Amino acid sequence: MGILTGKFNHETQFPEDDLRKDLPKENWFKDSLNKVEKLRSLIRLNRSLAQIALRYVLSHPAVSVAIPGAKNSNQVEENSSHLTRPLLLDNEIEFIKNL
């Protein structure tokens, strides 16, 4: 769905023929958008929300690989470029855990 890409907000509306059309009415969707807004404070050094999400998943000691989805070559490039971005700091990991 891509909620961590930051492309959705509280004003997002989907067309009537879109399976996601009722999502903006769902409490979990609204809650997720609020959390994504808080995550924006971690964007620095050209890190996107998707890259932060991948770094967070990979910061867990039990995780050795993440397989992100992508619809186009730009998304593949962005997802793979997280490898060249700075690691999350301990306080950033704690911030995310507490969301």
- pLDDT tens for 1-18 read 578 877 889 999 999 999
Q: Is the pTM of this model over 0.85?
A: no
Q: Is 81 helix (H, G, I), strand (E, B) or coil?
A: helix
Segment 48-98, tens digit of pLDDT? 888 888 889 988 999 998 888 888 898 888 888 877 777 888 999 999 999
DSSP symbols for 83-96 = GGSPPPPHHHHHHH
Burial class of residue 24, CB neighbours in 10 A (0-12, 13-18, 19+): middle
Is the four-CA dihedral 69, 99, 10, 82 of positive or negative sign?
Answer: negative
Would you place residue 45 in the very low, low, confident or very high pLDDT band (cuts 50, 70, 90)?
Answer: low
